[in-house]
Amino acid sequence: MFDPTIYENLKVVFEGAVYDLDLDGQIVVVHRSDLIDLASMSRSYLIRFRMKDGRSWAELRLSAELLDMAGEKLEWRNVLPGCRLELVFGLTLRNPVTACKNIQDIMEQIWGRDTTIIQTLSFRYGDDGSRCHNEIGVIFERKIGESQVADIPDLLEHAVATLRQLEPYNMEE
């Protein structure tokens, strides 16, 4: 009998929880990807969603490396298997200097001051820089496993709350 890995179990739970929110009409799933990298023998899954009438998006990224999967399957005692989780939010800003400070405050209020929040700004060459794309990463420093499954609804609730708070800053046309 096939025994799924931590990665596969978490992926199924995340995907089901996100699609339940989509079915309830709270969000709209706009992209999904499930990849196996044969060069590094790693797995990655992402699912992107936005509010029904929103333009800002959230992307949940789950990944597992070869060492995690091999350690789990071969039951190595010196390897703590698990997955990496990252949430990324995206929106287009005008006046990024002011907006980014406000966004940082929102992110810290929702996710806590101990969570690593990284804002990455980009704009097209030739533009004046007054309008730019902001990708906001919420980085979880530790691996997650099946013992965190009960936290997934709260995590997604925080993601939806974050989208609601970020939407007024989105100036995409």
For residue 119, pLDDT beyond 90: yes
pLDDT at 96: 85
- Distance of CA 8 to CAs 58, 125, 141, Å? 21, 40, 20
Give the closest residue to 83 by CA, choosing from 138, 14, 40, 144.
144
Give the closest residue to 168 by CA, choosing from 31, 51, 86.
51
Residue 52 lies in a domain: yes
Write down the residue that tokens 């998006």 correspond to. 57
pLDDT at 77: 84
Residue 148 lies in a domain: yes
pLDDT at 1: 47
Angle at 138 between CA 133 and CA 140, to 5 degrees: 155
Residue 1 lies in a domain: no
For residue 2, pLDDT beyond 70: no
Give the closest residue to 7 by CA, choosing from 40, 32, 34, 31.
34
Lowest mean pLDDT among 56-65, 92-101, 133-142: 92-101
> Are 85 and 142 a contacting pair, CB within 8 Å?
no
Number of domains in the chain: 1
Dihedral (CA of 162, 165, 166, 167) sign:
positive
Angstrom distance (rounded) from CA 161 to CA 153 = 12
pLDDT at 52: 92
Q: pLDDT tens digits for 46-94? A: 999 999 999 999 999 999 998 888 888 888 888 888 999 999 999 999 8
Residue 104 lies in a domain: yes
pLDDT at 86: 96
Q: Which residue range is the domain that position 93 belongs to? A: 6-169
Residue 81 lies in a domain: yes
Largest Cα–Cα separation, the chain: 59
Confidence band of 4 (pLDDT split at 50, 70, 90): confident
Residue 60 lies in a domain: yes
